[in-house]
Amino acid sequence: MKSSIILLLLAAFLTSMKGDLPAYRIFEKEGKKTSFKDMTDDAFKADVVLFGELHNNPISHWLQLELTRALADGKGDRLLLGAEMFESDDQLLLDEYTGNRIATRNFEEEAKLWNNYSTDYKPLVELARERQLRFIATNIPRRYAAVVHRKGFEGLDSLAAEARELIAPLPVKYDPALGCYKSMMEMSGDMGGMGGYVSPNLPKAQAIKDATMAHFILKNLQPGETLIHFNGAYHSDHFEGIAWYLLQEKPDMNILTITTVEQDTLDELHSDHNGLAHYIICVPETMTKTY
């Protein structure tokens, strides 16, 4: 009787384990399962952590916050934050807010905040404010990215000196054969074949964003510090985009890349996700979205 009860309890336990719904799993770039702790340990040793997110994925944003909190606990004021979601002409506002010099209402009314700021990025800004950490607005003002989309890099030559302070130094290096830009043009070409015009400047507009984000990371990072940067995964996947521009200036820089993908199952990493980043956060396709 006792043995049959034990077997029933064991069967119930195994059934419950089989029925678990993990919210995420982390893999190394070769597809081996790893842990948040291993990812955090490597982040401590990096000069720059490029955390590639899916903008509407809540697991991305939660793990960004948890990783940043862990780094802040260990590195103190030797940690900086940076983000694609803030344009360089908002740096003064960010400094004033994280330095407790202006009120929340004024910051949120005057800064160019993304629609999902309150749910996805505000916790990071508030952490920086609480811990007195510098938060870098790294992205190019969108009006200047639009200039590149319309006129190419040459369109930036007519900008005033003050405007050029808000973007990467000119002329900007650009490799159209780099996978992230080449694939963008190829995908856009498919759209163009459906009757829509696609500007050949489209990947250049992406490149000026990557170059500007890399520029402000390099401008603000000091020896012995770590800067954790939040960006769409496309800006750092395959160690391209921002990472490529950083390494053009500092080939020996220790960069850790993280990306986020969605899959139908989390048992193993799909082969097409291998090599995307040093660490790949895998989230169920059915995960709810923040917008």
Q: Are 212 and 231 in contact (CB under 8 A)?
A: no
Flag whether pLDDT at 8 surpasses 50. no
Which tens digit of pLDDT belongs to each residue from 10-36?
Answer: 444 444 445 689 999 999 999 999 999
Whole-number Cα distances in Å, 17 to 8, 20, 70:
14, 5, 29
- For the chain, the 3-state helix, strand and coil shares in percent, each to the nearest 5, are 50, 15, 30
Do 168 and 145 contact (CB within 8 A), yes or no?
no
More confident residue, 188 or 11: 188
**Residue 195: pLDDT band by 50, 70, 90 thresholds?**
low
- List phi, psi (to 5°) of 286: -85, 0
pLDDT recorded at residue 19: 67
In this predicted structure, which of 44-48, 147-151, 182-186 has the lowest mean pLDDT?
182-186
pLDDT (0 to 100) of residue 197: 62
Are 250 and 43 within 8 A, CB to CB? no
Is CATH 3.40.50.11550 the right assignment for the domain spanning 23-284?
A: yes
pTM: 0.91
More confident residue, 2 or 24: 24
Average pLDDT, the chain: 92
Residue-wise pLDDT tens digits, 77-116: 999 999 999 999 999 999 999 999 999 999 999 999 999 9
pLDDT at 196 over 60: no
Cβ atoms of 244 and 48 closer than 8 Å? no
Cα–Cα distance for residue pair 36/109, rounded to 1 Å: 35
Q: Give the 3-state secondary structure of residue 51.
A: strand
Please state, in angstroms and rounded to a whole number, the distance separating the CA atoms of residues 231 and 120: 12
Enter the tokens of residue 223.
Answer: 């020896």
pLDDT band for position 52 (cuts 50, 70, 90): very high
Q: Render pLDDT for 210-227 as a digit per residue (tens, 0 to 9).
A: 999 999 999 999 999 999
Name the region of 135 (left: φ>0; alpha: ψ -120 to 50; beta: rest): beta
Q: Where are the alpha helices (DSSP H) in the chain?
A: 2-18, 36-45, 58-75, 91-98, 104-110, 122-131, 142-151, 161-164, 179-192, 202-220, 242-249
Question: Which pair of tokens denotes residue 215?
Answer: 């520029």
Please state the domain extents for the chain.
23-284
Out of 36-40, 183-187, 244-248, 277-281, least confident range: 183-187
